[in-house]
């Protein structure tokens, strides 16, 4: 969840969709299934929409809240 007018322009290792301030990243074919202990790193390029660029307010993976930095 973004705190301002930020939008996703593109990203890697995930398919991104955005509805207002909420962004959803879903797996893509090459990381569709992860075994226990495996991990994937995702990234994105966004625009600040004229507002101050901030760290997202909340980040969840499979419904579990994660730290944002």
Query: pLDDT per residue over 14-65, tens digit each?
Result: 999 999 888 888 999 998 888 899 888 888 888 877 666 666 777 777 788 8
This prediction has a pTM of 0.70
| 3-state helix/strand/coil string of the chain | CCCCCCEEEEEECCEEEEECCEEEEECCHHHCCCCCCCCCCCEEEEECCCCCCCCCCCEEECCEEECCC
Structure-token pair, residue 5: 């007018």
């Amino acid at each position: 969840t973004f705190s301002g007018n930020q939008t996703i322009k593109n990203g890697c290792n995930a398919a991104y969709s955005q509805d207002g301030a909420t962004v959803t990243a879903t797996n893509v074919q090459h990381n569709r299934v992860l075994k226990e202990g495996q991990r994937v790193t995702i990234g994105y390029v966004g625009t600040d929409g004229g507002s101050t660029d901030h760290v997202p307010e909340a980040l969840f993976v499979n419904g579990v809240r994660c730290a944002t930095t």
